[in-house]
A = this chain, B = another copy of it.
Amino acid sequence: MRKEFWQEDFEVLGKNDLKKLQVERLNATIEHAARSPYYKTLFQQKNIHKGDIKDIAQIRDLPFTTKQDLRENFPYGFLTLPKKEIIRLHSSSGTTGNPTVIFHNRHDLNSWANLMARSLFCAGIRDTDVFQNICGYGLFTGGLGFQYGIETLGALSIPAGAGNSLRQIKLMQDYGTTAAHAIPSYLGRLYEVFQSAGLDPKKDTKLKTLVIGAEPHTDEQRKRIEEMFGVRAFNSFGLSEMNGPGVAFECEYQNGLHIWEDAYVVEIVNPDTLEPVPDGEYGELVMTTLDRQSMPLIRYRTRDITRIIPGKCECGRTHRRIDRITGRSDDMFIIKGCNVFPMQIEGVLMKIPEVGSDYLITLVTLNGTDEMVVEVEVKKEWFKGDIRRLDNLTKMITAQIRDEVLAKPIVKLVEPGYIPKSEGKAVRVVDNRVNGVTKENISCS
């Protein structure tokens, strides 16, 4: 088979040429970054200048950037350009505390759309495909990220949005959908709806490719999805700080995700010592943008735990592969495609007068779908109230948590003392999901 690439010039660059390109782009990135208030001060303190980087290994001399830095310098501390030149922002959810925000100018959006198109092409999608994007739009990067990528690739995009399974099935049948993007747990639900409608996706659709991401899932779950739908399912990786989807993608060999090294410098470090770990060993993924003008990020600590898969890929692409994410070096978890920090839920609960001092978040898999159960202790004087009052309180808490983290929880009110107390640091999250051990970072945060 003749090998095909979206951008042969970039995707099969020899190791030395790729490093040379990275050095050029990293120096340009330092120059851009120095225009932001945050990096300007930091670079002055640390005596960092454009042109300093002669070898890409020297990136280790640069300081790390963390989510905390982003939050403390919200909203414009990392912005390098006049606001007039910015044409889009993506912001994390939540109404309490400082969100994280990423700004894009036209160059940044074009660059992102191109990486997304390259990723889809890498997974075998072509301009002859009909691509249904089953994903929330708006501030979530998954919706617009895939939309622009599909259009740049030239496939026929169906901006289906999330939910409404019968309608998703009708769209697939009406327009002969051949490829789709969805979170893995939704695909389990969708399959059930196919079955209740007396349909078999293998026979009754033209689906041949699914792109899955934005949620923890294992390779076994991928194989189940492939069998249920009679497709090949490709793993997608991204995080909003690095644009969103289109950061790393599986190719036809499905043996790890090519991470686009012309657009990002990729490091794996020991999350405690922050020293690099050898290829093949697990550590925290650290990324530097190489082609973002409005808001370059240098050595951004993603908190995602993965490893570089050693060796060459048969597809011919020279960009290295990361393994699926096996965990986090902080307490964030992902449910229904939404990034959730337990403190967000605590923030909501502690503002409600009826709520007592304890709560417990349990992640479970119910009928194939991952759910977040929040048990909330209610003050004694309230718990004896009538059912209707408790019902209303449950609904109110459910709505407020959903508004904060965008994922709808199952809220259960419990008596004071019901939640077991731990001896040391309180346990706030228990992950009992079928695939809960492997946490995959999300395409849309």
B87 touches A151 (CB 8 A): yes
Whole-angstrom distance between the alpha carbons of A173 and B426 in the complex?
A: 34
Contact flag A84-B138 (CB < 8 Å), given A89-B156, A175-B89: no
> Given the complex, which residues of B lie within 8 Å of A91, measured CB to CB?
158, 171, 174-175
A88 within 8 A of B: yes
Interface on chain A toward B: helix, strand, loop, or mixed SS?
Answer: mixed
A127 within 8 A of B: yes
A157 touches B87 (CB 8 A): yes
> Given the complex, which residues of B lie within 8 Å of A161, measured CB to CB?
136-139
Mark A88-108 against chain B: 1 for CB-CB distance below 8 A, else 0. 111101110001010100100
B403 touches A88 (CB 8 A): no
Stretch at the interface among A28-36, A162-170, A213-221: A162-170
> Given the complex, which residues of B lie within 8 Å of A101, measured CB to CB?
174-175
Report the interface size class on chain A. 35 or more
Q: How many copies does the complex hold?
A: 2
Most buried by B among A151, A156, A158, A171: A156
Whole-angstrom distance between the alpha carbons of A354 and B8 in the complex?
A: 61
Mark A50-94 against chain B: 1 for CB-CB distance below 8 A, else 0. 000000000000000000000000110000000111111111011
10 residue pairs of the A-B complex, CB under 8 angstroms, read: A75-B174, A83-B156, A86-B156, A87-B156, A103-B156, A106-B151, A137-B138, A139-B158, A139-B161, A144-B147
* Additional 8 contacts, C-beta under 8 A, given A84-B128, A86-B156, A137-B159: A84-B154, A87-B157, A88-B157, A89-B158, A99-B174, A103-B156, A137-B161, A166-B403
